[in-house]
Structure formats: C-alpha cells, structure tokens
Amino acid sequence: MDKIKMVTPLVEMDGDEMTRILWQIIKEELLLPFIDLKTEYYDLGLEHRNETDDQVTTDSAEATKKYGVAVKCATITPNAARMTEYHLKEMWKSPNGTIRSILDGTVFRAPIVVKGIEPCVKNWEEPITIARHAYGDIYKNVEMKIPGAGKAELVFTAADGTVTREVIHEFKGEGILQGVHNTDASIESFAKACFNYALDTKQDLWFGAKDTISKKYDHNFKDIFQEIYEKEYKEKFEAAGIEYFYSLIDDIVARVMKAKGGFIWACKNYDGDVMSDMVSSAFGSLAMMTSVLVSPTGVYEYEAAHGTVQRHYYKHLKGEETSTNSVATIFAWTGALRKRGELDGTQELVSFADKLERATLSTIEEGKMTKDLALITTLKGVTVLNSEDFIKAVRKTYETI
Ligand code: NAD
C-alpha cells in the first residue's frame, strides 16, 4: 500500500517524560506505517531546552508561524525541584507561555466524547469547547494589603501628562486592594480568534461577562466582541448557519448546564481557568481533553491538555508497567494532520485523521482502554491495556475498519 504523501511539513515539538514515550510509540505504530510523514522536528524536551538556553522553544514557535500548523507533546514547566533534577542553568519559562505569546494565540480546549465515558451532566451529548482569554485581569494584577485607614485611588497619567483619578475606597481600617488591566488589542485578538475558530469548526460562539456590575471593564469586552462581530463576522456567521451570543456570565453558566453541548464558550481569563477544569472533569477525564492554540492570523498548534504524566514516567523508569492514556496525544496528531490536509488540499490526509480518530474511539467502545478510563467507564467487563498495547490495539482497529 502506498503511503499518504504530505505537501507541507508539520512543525513537530517533542516533549518530556511519559508523553515523550507515548509520542514515539504513536509515531511508530499509528503514523509512520501509513503516512510519508513530513515534519520539521524541534526537541522541546527539558534537557534540550536547557542546552539551547530555551532558543529551541522560540525557534519552534517561529517555524509554526512560517508553516501554519504544529503538533506539540506535553513539556515540563520547570520549578525548584526540576532545577535540581535536570541541573538547569535557569528556571526556563513555560514553553506553552512562550509559544502563546509569540503566536498571540487563544487556547481552545475540548473534551473527546466517547460512548462508555459519560459526562456527569447527563444532557451534555456533544463537546463544549472552552476558549480562554490568556492575558491580563488578575493574572497581571498589582495587589496591596492595606494596613489601616486611608484613601485608595485609581490614577492614570496619560502620555501627555494629563492625570485622571478616581477614588476606589476610603478605608476606615485594614483591608485589601487590587489593580487589574487589559488592553483593547489583546481583547480584539481574543475575539477574532474565537470568531475564526467558530467558523472553522461550524459551532455557535457564546460569550459571558459581568457588564451589569463592571460597567466599563467587562462592558469593554462585550462592546469589542459586538463591534468586531458586526463589522467582520456577522455575514460569515449567517452564511455558515451559526450564531454569536452574548449574555451575563451567570446566565451563560445556567444555560451551559442545561445545554446539549456542541458550542464554543469564550471566557475571560479567570472564568476560563476555572470553567475549563469544571468542564473537563465533568466530561470524565483530563486525559481526554484536546487543546489547540489558534492565532488571530490563523496559525494552529495542537496538543493534549494534560501534562507529562510524571508519576507514570517514574514507574516506567523503574521498569514497571504503565497504563497511560494516549488518546489526547493521538488527537493532537490527528487535529494537526487534518488541518494540514485542509490547508494543502490533501484529502487523503484528512480522511486518515478521521479514520484514526474513529479507530481510537471504537477501540474504547469495544472495551479496550487504559486504566484511568477503566475506573470511570460505564461499560462492563472491560480489558485494561498497558500504554503500548492500547496504541497497538488502536492500530489493529484502524487496519480492520
Ligand atoms: P499531569 O496532567 O501530567 O497529571 C495530572 C494528573 O492526571 C495525574 O494524577 C496523572 O496521573 C493524571 N493524568 C494526566 N494525564 C494522564 C494520562 N494521559 N493518562 C493517565 N493519567 C493521566 O499534570 P501534573 O502532574 O500536574 O504535571 C506533570 C508535569 O507536566 C509538570 O512538570 C508540568 O509542568 C507539566 N505540564 C505540562 C503541560 C503542557 O505541556 N501542556 C500541561 C500541564 C502540566
């Protein structure tokens, strides 16, 4: 059988620990036998990031800008323990943070829905994709503990020296104070990424904020979304048969709980942080969440939403068997290959991605799965497979469907 040919390479970002092991097996078992795989390879494993003074992360993001589609393995974000473990020269920044800021991207996270892993919310039949604005608000805050009585003010000094001030509170005793900001440029990028992704995936877009209470700050989010929608997207949305819908965040939360799924929920930074964990755990498992970073110019980086599964890696190093779930990493590859196929007009690549996803889901639906899913499945009499055997079982299904 002839292997599927690729026109443009994918940017391949290798990673760390257990997911690095899975990465290799996925390539050997599920990709290389069927595709003449063209990738531009960047090793984002922590050792290599340290050797290159993290230059490799920047290079991989620049390559993503050039080619348009990347697939990324989970990577370690160093902390104090990792400094010693890997003899690091510096506490390198999170690769995801670096890549996100170079691409100015928005992260869309969606659960992989499969029969046998039922969401806690019984009416959720289709995935709910969360788009989190990843700039500003409390994540770039300035805080103070107020020691006693006094006046707190908001002061803005314009470039021309004009000063605007507003009293925040006259403290009579101890208290707390916080300053937060956002920029129109960042909100605009976020809005555009959301509108583009909604069109791309043909899903409605919901956005919620608290504009009734926050009449300038949150209202600004609402206004920017609305203006951009009217100006640039309304007609495209109507043609695609999808909707943009704004409401108060509390109303949105209530509607989400009653909805069937199948839409994108755009969230301000804090809401996205909290709600994405709620949605992923209610859908069953962190190991079944995909994640894609989309830039406002239409550059895509696909990955699994989970980390490097450190605990399993240490077991693996001791020669013990692991049963690590590779589904989200497989879907990172299929997402990237499908997008590459769509951009290059290579239908075989798109069909390959569809079929590999079907094979992965069928394998689980037939009762073959890793331990994390076996613990939560509603299917009876399932077979728990180790990390490698699950991927081999997917290959077998792929070859028979
Ligand atoms: P983790 O996602 O690796 O694990 C969290 C928990 O979920 C663990 O109990 C783990 O056993 C379980 N889990 C996650 N994925 C699983 C899978 N595929 N199969 C089975 N069980 C799974 O997060 P962590 O333990 O907090 O972090 C480990 C490392 O990953 C850290 O160094 C962190 O910096 C990194 N990390 C990277 C990314 C990324 O690259 N996108 C995201 C999160 C964490």
What are 288-304's pLDDT values in tens digits?
999 999 988 889 999 99
Q: Of the ranges 143-152, 163-172, 276-285, which one carries the lowest mean pLDDT score?
A: 276-285
Please give the pLDDT value at position 40.
98
* pLDDT tens digit sequence for 309-328: 999 999 999 999 999 999 99
Task: Tell me the pLDDT band of 24, cut-offs 50, 70 and 90.
Answer: very high
- CB of 287 within 6 A of ligand 1: the answer is yes
User: Domains, the chain, ranges and CATH?
Assistant: 1-113+298-401 (3.40.718.10), 119-141+181-283 (3.40.718.10), 143-179 (no CATH)
37 C-alpha vs ligand 1 centroid, how far in Å? Answer: 27
74 lines ligand 1 (CB under 6 A): yes
pLDDT tens by residue, 238-288? 999 999 999 999 999 999 999 999 999 999 999 998 898 899 889 888 899
Dihedral, CA of residue 108, residue 46, residue 91 and residue 330, to nearest 10: 10
% pLDDT > 90, the chain: 93
Ligand 1 and 186: CB distance under 6 A: no
List, for residues 331-376, the tens digit of each pLDDT value. 999 999 999 999 999 999 999 999 999 999 999 999 999 999 999 9
286 lines ligand 1 (CB under 6 A): yes
pLDDT at 284: 81
Task: Identify whether the C-beta of residue 371 lies closer than 8 Å to the C-beta of residue 323.
Answer: yes
pLDDT at 140: 87
Mean pLDDT taken over the chain: 96
pLDDT of residue 356: 98
Give the pLDDT of residue 76.
98
- Rounded to the nearest angstrom, the distance between the alpha carbon of 310 and the centre of ligand 1 is 7
Q: What's the pLDDT at 256?
A: 96
pLDDT for position 154: 97
Each residue's pLDDT tens digit, 76-97: 999 999 999 999 999 999 999 8
Pocket test for ligand 1, best of 20, 306, 372 (most atoms within 8 A of CB): 306
pLDDT at 1: 73
pLDDT at 164: 97
Note the pLDDT of residue 277.
Answer: 85
Residue 197 C-alpha to ligand 1 middle, in angstroms? 26
Give the pLDDT of residue 286.
85
pLDDT the model gives residue 25? 98
232-238: average pLDDT: 98
Q: Which residues are annotated as a binding site for NADP(+)?
A: 75-77, 82, 258, 307-312, 325
pLDDT of residue 134: 82
Tell me how far CA of residue 331 lies from CA of 23, 293, 296, 366, in angstroms: 12, 14, 22, 19
Segment 106-123 shows an average pLDDT of: 93
**What is the distance in A from the centroid of ligand 1 to the CA of 350?**
29
User: Among 23, 71, 108, 309, which is best to mutate for testing ligand 1, by the most ligand atoms less than 8 A from CB?
Assistant: 309
What residues does 177 pair with on adjacent strands?
144
| Ligand 1: centre distance to CA 94 (Å) | 14
pTM over 0.80: yes
Residue 386 Cα to ligand 1 midpoint, Å, equals: 18
Please check whether residue 263 is in contact with residue 128, taking contact to mean a CB–CB distance below 8 angstroms: yes
pLDDT of residue 216: 97
Q: Strand pairing of 175-179 and 142-146?
A: antiparallel
pLDDT for residue 139 is more than 90: no
Name the closest-CA residue to atom 42, ligand 1: 307
- CA 346 – ligand 1 centroid, Å: 34
Counting ligand 1 atoms within 8 A of each CB, the residue from 13, 286, 301 with the most, and so the one to mutate, is 286
Q: Which of 113, 94, 125, 27 is nearest to 289 (CA)?
A: 113
256 CA → ligand 1 middle, Å:
27
* pLDDT at residue 104 tops 90: no
What's the rounded mean pLDDT across residues 11-16? 98
The atom number, within ligand 1, closest to the CA of 304 reads 41
What percentage of the chain exceeds 70 in pLDDT? Answer: 100
Q: Which residues are annotated as a binding site?
A: 75-77, 82, 94-100, 109, 132, 250, 258, 273, 307-312, 325
114 has a pLDDT exceeding 90: yes
